[in-house]
Chain A
């Protein structure tokens, strides 16, 4: 009752004087402008991207809602101190503070009354901003989870500002110094977080960031409800209110510090330190035992349990660099994922680099395409263009994996040798891929009954002789039970593998691919540069192409088109250019194209997936019409290494060591035409601010009527 009277009286200070209305008009104007700016730039970017990428979906949550909340955090940083510091100096100036002190109000009631009154005014400000999400919801499908948590975060952060402002103004007489000091202290609590993010030690980083008012707000803006953030804000607010209460208790002693006996001073500070200690202990506890609620649509931000396990296994610092521009497709997906990684393991750090602005860095790390994410762990580096959780987690998993993958290189039929140091040998290939977690061993099929069980993959590199029946049986058996084969067939085409190819619907064209365009670059037409890759994971990130010295091509047989009758899938990986053709007359080379030749583009490489055990597992093979490209002489040309690396990763299941089911989440988008945008401008920037202005004028007139 008494507190209620105090709250009512303090609200009258805000609503019956010009001050409250000035703040409201300014606030609605600025927040309206912020919203309009975000909205119009979203629409402009959307239209621009939609022209380049058909069916482009631009996420409203990422482009409007999250930035809107971060802008409000700054806006309130300036507005709230102005409101919160009004009460105590006003009471002191009018002398009414003395009467509050000797009235039946307890000090706690005074502190809470002022706090609640300011919070009510703040909630009114927040309520006005509800208009913006409503506008978005009318024209699109925003995710309401982040909107809800965003407002909750704003409320808690604002309440912390309010508590600070009240506390500071309770012992300062001048409003100006109270505003400046409140502003300064809030900024200090922001800076702590920035200092933390640049701290080298993980412990310091955690300590600094856990004191930051801003760091704890960040998750709310994204749609995450973290009990640690809740406990931080609640402790912050309660502790500052407690200080405020202690400060009021000292009021009858003020002006005369002789009133503080030594023991009084000691008691008072001991008590405050004790309470502070309890608050810290509670928070340390809450940091150890916490829960994060993901309120985004389809739990967009929650990592799968497999990911959590991988992230926890990281034991030395890992640096992740995103070479993205903000409008690079996938920017927010990768950023959100990596930020989740950071949250889970402080050893991970993230740098976002705009490759246009930091050209040197992009060059240093060999970045060729926008949207590359680079992982640096110990002395290993991996780059990827994937944007899915599964893709990123597999990259990390490969980096932290210490287990080796055994690859058997088949020998005994004229293949390239792993010991050969000449241009025809594979020694460079072995050296390169040993660093990436593979072990290589030679294997003669005639000397074994079956492929060893520890084989992650076998490689045929340029088999010359016909295989005997035993070898064929070994290969067939191996492939039927989940084997992985990298089949590099050297032209002039040997027929050794026809038994295998034909079974899976692949026809070797027995030709040599001639690319006439090559003469333009002064390269032999028999050495095609392959730049045409499908979006299969093996070729997906290859941009400069691979160079194959003499290659033959393949075709798909008719029967594989009846998909339900076969238990395998074929994907073309690479094709030759439009200007190429397959020369079938191998006796006179080079020669010109004639009717018997096969018209380009021609399939050069194929990925094969065969299902077994009720379609739950699959065997894999990569087939390519050349083997020389992996020898010492050609390995380092163009992106040959990348193609081989991708193939090995895929064959040994290293991309999908961890399978994470992709989330199917509806993207929040919004569509508006320019006319609608200008109506919104009129509404939020002109009409809305006029409302508090008119109200203010009305109240002003009404209050003066009984003069």
Chain B
């Protein structure tokens, strides 16, 4: 069942069109990754989802009811962690949590909920510290904990790993995955690997438009872009001819040529199969020198290139 559905949402900031007629749905239990470069409209979409921003046109359905005509509908149903964690620096961690519990109207089992969230987010050791003295990682966790208070159905996380160190990133991702078991999570990111690691569905947005909306596994498959970098010393024409004959190879291009005779090539394939074996065999059959061979994972850039190309074609 779709818990959230945006229909033909547009939004201007001044004269700039930030969201251009976007529509998508989010199913209950999903961990949805909102993927796009900076300035694509991710934060704006997130804010519309929380009810903090009203779109210029379109409708926002929450469990099939319009959240725009009755804004009270989504109050407390949505936990929100903005890009900068919203924290009162002059309050202790526990005071921050208590306050948000109060204004979210949590009545019963306050202490239990608080302890559970402190545990889940690993805030135990800093409970009595002034929030202003927390490190970046703890601030992020506190922000997440605040979002979790009041047991919301949907958790909206705006770039939750930005500015964290690798260990913190890893921990945060683990935490989100853990939360995703109970709640619908929408997170925005500009890192494909993060989304593909954490999310089960991906929505890609660029320049205010949705490029695609897929299950993560399908997306990776659909992109079909496996590319291989090859460095060799051989006759350029022969190599290209032969390589193109390999089954699954869609394109071969020369990237670099050196005076020493070394050439760098990119081989693109639209097959799921690993072609490295075929390539090595080809080289040994023809007795060409293979200096290096590597396979590269698809990146966000690849996907954009791909989709933009698709559109152009």
Contacts and interface: CB of A to CB of B under 8 A. Distances in A.
A618 B39 CA distance: 98
Contact of A256 (B14, B91, B105): B14
A13 B90 contact: yes
B78 interface: yes
B71 to A, nearest CB: 8
Contacts of B91: 9, 12, 16
Contacts of B85: 95
Question: Do most interface residues of chain A lie in helix, strand or loop, or is the interface mixed?
Answer: helix
A73 to B, nearest CB: 31
A707 B13 contact: no
A5 B99 CA distance: 6
A312 interface: no
A255 interface: yes
Nearest to A96: B86
A252 interface: yes
Contact of B146 (A1, A99, A252, A256): A99
A259 interface: yes
A6 B12 CA distance: 33
Interface in A82-105: 94-96, 98-105
Given A5-B99, A98-B82, A706-B129, A103 B90 contact: no
Most buried by B among A9, A257, A704: A9
B103 A95 contact: no
B88 A9 contact: yes
Contacts of A253: 54
B102 A1 contact: yes
A96 B142 CA distance: 13
B216 interface: no
A104 B130 contact: no
Given A707-B129, A707-B133, A94 B50 contact: no
A16 B51 CA distance: 32
B130 A258 contact: no
A99 B152 CA distance: 13
A101 B76 CA distance: 10
Interface string A249-269: 001110111110000000000
Contacts of B12: 256, 258
A674 B75 CA distance: 66
Contacts of A259: 54-56
Q: How large is the interface on A (under 10, 10 to 19, 20 to 34, 35 or more residues)?
A: 20 to 34
A2 interface: yes
Contacts of B103: 2, 5-6, 99-100, 103-105
Interface string B216-230: 000000000000000
A16 B130 CA distance: 11
Nearest to B93: A706
A139 interface: no
Contact of B86 (A1, A95, A251, A707): A95
Contacts of B55: 259
B308 interface: no
Interface string A677-703: 000000000000000000000000001
A2 B102 contact: yes
Interface in B1-50: 11-14, 47, 50
7 contacts: A4-B102, A5-B102, A6-B103, A94-B84, A94-B88, A256-B56, A707-B130
Interface of B: 11-14, 47, 50-56, 71, 74-76, 78, 80, 82, 84-92, 95, 98-100, 102-105, 128-130, 133, 146
The 10 closest A-B pairs by CB, nearest first: A5-B102, A95-B86, A104-B105, A706-B128, A96-B86, A103-B103, A252-B54, A258-B12, A105-B103, A9-B99
